[in-house]
A and B are shown apart, each in its own frame.
Chain A
């Protein structure tokens, strides 16, 4: 990339000027819509306040919201649940997504139709996804319980109503909704692998599994890391489906850090602390993403 610029200085000056013009307006927009509000919310995290105080006096409390954050046992529990959720959902999504994308890649007919239908879950709003699964997994009247009853297992299973099953059930919902996204990206990556590589492998007499392992898998490494990055970022701050489906229960067994932040601000009216929690989410997710980005670069796929 860096080699494509000619050193003719007038071009570069023109390019620089155009570059500046192209960056200026969006940069202002980003500053106004994200970084301004973000800085404001960092400032607000230093106060103790609720929404009705927004235009009146707020009590400045310095870093006390952050001090509370590190001594709050609920934060520890929530981070633990969140990490379990992230690792469980993203892990399964990746493995399942890879299997489905490989199968899709080897279909001879009907690939387009299959692809379109597979995408269905990821276009559905989280609030509707939660609604669908609240019905599906209802222990009394949900489809899963109805089918279980047909094969003689009566009384239903408390998917969201037991501490052991609630978090895995939430992961199941995430896996249902987002595996299609993983399939889409990985499949696109596979289509980008050059045919010569497959040809060469076939001439060498490599079997299907061998081709998958030694050509496809390395070929889509960038896509895998990309999926990891985006899914980790999004699952780490999950709250909407959790809010509708379990509201953190039973007990606090499914309370995620995103949910705790949302509830602190909007259900318990403690916005200062919620802002501090929001900053905590941002910082931790940035650290995790930084780690992924370094991986991406080490594999020399990040240009």
Chain B
């Protein structure tokens, strides 16, 4: 019996030891301290970041995906070198980003300084107090290049990063949905450039099936892109899902019918497996010469002009979506970059955001990844405009734009809308039933 007790103690000791070891490993991470920082230092070279932040460790939370992650990594490296700070990028899959961020920020132990915030959860985060206001920094002449202020951004985009009158975020990654078409194939078939959606359907029917090339390709998998395309189709007809307050269904039956009709007809001339194609799959199909036309987000279309991914470089021309000639439209897709309310390095975080969203860095991102900056001067930058083949199409589409939905209820609604589109394509729902299903989905706006 005595022996048993002694052995029991050994077991307990082993348990205590292993728990102790666990605690030790948990204590081994410790944060750096701030020292010798001056946020007001002017950049050494024009276009460089403001301030010096020696000894400051920053973490940026974003979703993973190239070329955007690596592009931002390059900007971070340059920023680190110029300011002496250390910005690390923490990238997780987009699908998990919201829960990861929300949980981390709710804990109060967050080490996030800069956040990528998607429109659909911007309101939620701002309301919960997770984001730091940015207006003061934006107005501070000591922390911005001369002449740079809130007015330097496109107002329609910048305003998406404001909640109840306070500016929280700086935007970049402006894009929309446009139509790409193969100039060589169109020429060979004696077709002129497609102007309207009915031209697109007509041309797709003609070009479909020649030499294994499909007429048209677009996203068909319910990952958000189907909704982006459909939103652009609505916008081009002057319609939108909901009212300005985001509380009431304003979907017009006629517009929705025409949009869904376009989607289902186009799907007839699309390659096999359309319903499992995300934006990148659709772009890859087009880039590999398997479709004569492509409807997709502009960042995905960068694959068409990238020689390492495309066999059709230089064969593409781009037009905006138009139902009626000369009435283009598109959904305004954008990203918001915000500073975490719990950040201990807010000045440094602002320095990076200003640097990153300003025209010079955005021009680099644009060339690498085909997304556009949100500053006005970006659109007059000669270097950019001459090298982005789809810029005119994007510009004209965005002349009539609705911003990507930023309602908390939207992700759920969006999935139901995309399911309706997919079922209409499969013929499980008629177009009228599909539109009715969209109205049903939009009922969640009220809840």
Contact = CB atoms under 8 A, between A and B. Distances in A.
Check A-B contact in the complex, CB < 8 A: yes
Interface of A: 10, 14, 17-18, 21-22, 25, 50-56, 138-141, 154-163, 166, 243, 245-252, 263, 265-270
B96 A266 contact: yes
A161 B4 contact: no
A140 B281 CA distance: 9
B124 interface: yes
Contacts of B277: 161
Contact of A267 (B102, B274, B411): B411
A160 B125 contact: no
A243 B96 CA distance: 11
Contacts of B1: 10, 14
B275 A158 contact: yes
Nearest to B5: A17
A247 B7 CA distance: 53
A22 B8 CA distance: 8
Given A52-B102, A155-B272, 18 more contacts: A51-B98, A54-B106, A55-B106, A55-B108, A138-B281, A155-B212, A156-B271, A161-B276, A162-B273, A246-B221, A248-B222, A250-B423, A251-B423, A265-B99, A266-B95, A267-B411, A269-B98, A269-B408
B139 interface: no
Nearest to B11: A21
Contacts of A51: 98-99, 102-103, 106
A257 B174 CA distance: 36
Contacts of A161: 220, 272-277
Given A140-B271, A162-B275, A52 B220 contact: no
Contacts of B408: 50, 269
5 contacts: A155-B271, A160-B273, A161-B274, A161-B277, A163-B426
A76 B288 CA distance: 41
Interface string B83-96: 00000000000011
Contact of A269 (B11, B124, B273): B124
Q: What's the interface size class on B, roughly?
A: 35 or more
A266 B290 contact: no
Nearest to B106: A54
B149 interface: no
Interface in B278-321: 281, 284-285, 288, 290
Contacts of A56: 128
B415 interface: yes
Interface in B218-276: 220-223, 271-276
Contacts of B415: 263, 267-268
A251 B428 contact: yes
A169 to B, nearest CB: 10
A139 B272 contact: yes
B221 A18 contact: no
B57 interface: no
A249 B219 CA distance: 13
Task: Name the residue in A55, A246, A249 with the highest tally of chain B Cβ atoms < 10 Å from its Cβ.
Answer: A249
B289 to A, nearest CB: 11
Contacts of A154: 212
Given A249-B222, A251-B419, A267-B415, A140 B285 contact: yes
A263 B418 CA distance: 14
Contacts of A55: 106, 108
B4 A17 contact: yes
A33 to B, nearest CB: 13
Top 9 nearest A-B pairs (CB, nearest first) are A139-B273, A161-B273, A250-B275, A161-B276, A51-B102, A268-B412, A158-B273, A52-B128, A160-B276
B121 interface: yes
Interface in B6-29: 7-8, 11-12, 15
Nearest to A266: B99
Given A140-B271, A141-B284, A155-B271, A270 B276 contact: no
Nearest to A13: B1
A157 B102 contact: no
Contacts of A162: 273, 275, 426
B433 to A, nearest CB: 13
Contacts of B127: 52
Contacts of A270: 412
Contacts of A158: 272-276
